[in-house]
Chain A
Amino acid sequence: EIVMTQSPATLSVSPGERVTLSCRASQSISSNIAWYQQKPGQAPRLLLYTASTRATGIPARFSGSGSGAEFTLAINNLQSEDFAVYYCQQYNDWPRGLTFGGGTKVEIK
C-alpha cells in the first residue's frame, strides 16, 4: 500500500498570507495525486487532480506542484473561507487502490 504523509499537521496563518502544504508518497506516484478541502461538518471538496489541474470552480489562488513522491499545495492570499483541513490522495493504483494523507489543518493565527 502506498502511504501518503502530509506535513505539517497544523498551520497557523493570517488572512492574506501564502501557505504551502506538503504531501510525500512512500513511492513514486508520477503525478497521480488529488487534493481536497474539508470544512467542519461538510463533505470534502475536490480542489486539484493530476497534481496541478484545478477542478471546476476552484479559484486560481489554489495551485499544486510536484511529481514523483513530493507534492505541494499552495494557497495565495488566504481568504477566510480557506481555513479548513486539506487532504492529499494518491491514485497511482486506480482503480485497485486509493489512499489519503492524514490531513493538514490550516487555522487562523
Chain B
Amino acid sequence: QLQLQESGPGLVMPSETVSLTCSVSGGSISRSSFCWGWIRQPPGKGLEWIGTVYDSGGTYYNPSLRSRVTMSVDTSKNQFSLHLNSVTAADTAVYYCVRPAAVGSNYYGMDVWGQGTTVTVSS
C-alpha cells in the first residue's frame, strides 16, 4: 500500500525559502507514468493546488505560485520535494504531498495523501 510522509521545518522566516520533502513507501516513485504533487491549506481555509512533478522531471505549477516554486524528484531516495521561495505570512498552511491517480492525460483524482505538515511563516 502506497504511503506518503511529508517532512520539513515547521517555522520559516519571512523572505526565506521553505523546503519540504515527501518520502514514498510501499512503491517506487519512478514507476512509469506516475506523477506526484503538492496541495496546501491555509488555517481555516480551502485547498490550493501548488503543482505536479513527473518522475521524468517535468513540472506543472499553479500560475499564482509559478515564479516562486520548484519541484523535483529524487528517484534514488524515493522522494520528491517542494521549494517555495520568498515566503510571507500568506504561505502559512498545512502542506500535503499527494499522488494523483493519472495515466498520461487521464486523471482520476488524488487518491493518496500524506498526513500533512504545518509550515508557519513568522519572524
B-binding residues in A (CB < 8 A): 1, 32, 34, 36, 43-46, 48-50, 53, 55-56, 87, 89, 91, 94-103
Q: Which residues of A contact B111 (CB under 8 A)?
A: 46, 55-56
Pick the contact of B105: A45, A89, A94 (CB < 8 A): A94
Contact of B107 with A94 in the complex, beta carbons under 8 Å:
yes
CB distance from A50 to the nearest CB of B (A): 7
- Chain B interface residue count, CB cutoff 8 Å, equals 23
Contact of A34 with B109 in the complex, beta carbons under 8 Å:
yes
Q: Which residues of B contact A53 (CB under 8 A)?
A: 108
* CA of A101 to CA of B45, assembled, Å: 11
CB distance from B57 to the nearest CB of A (A): 14
Q: Which residues of A contact B102 (CB under 8 A)?
A: 94-95
* With known contacts A43-B96, A49-B108, A94-B105, A100–B52 Cβ distance under 8 A: no
In chain A, what residue has the closest Cβ to B37?
A98
In chain B, what residue has the closest Cβ to A91?
B107
CB distance from A38 to the nearest CB of B (A): 8
A-B contact pairs, 6 of them (CB 8 A): A36-B110, A46-B111, A89-B47, A94-B105, A95-B102, A96-B60
| Total CB contacts across the A-B interface at under 8 A | 63
CB distance from A106 to the nearest CB of B (A): 15
Stretch of B11-19, B21-29, B71-79, B113-121 with 4 or more beta carbons under 8 angstroms from chain A: B113-121
Contact of A87 with B49 in the complex, beta carbons under 8 Å:
no
Contact of B47 with A1 in the complex, beta carbons under 8 Å:
no
CB distance from A51 to the nearest CB of B (A): 11
Pick the contact of B109: A1, A49, A96 (CB < 8 A): A49
Contact of B109 with A100 in the complex, beta carbons under 8 Å:
no
Cβ of B69 under 8 Å from chain A: no
* CA of A71 to CA of B63, assembled, Å: 25
* CA of A45 to CA of B105, assembled, Å: 22
CB distance from A95 to the nearest CB of B (A): 5
Contact of A50 with B46 in the complex, beta carbons under 8 Å:
no
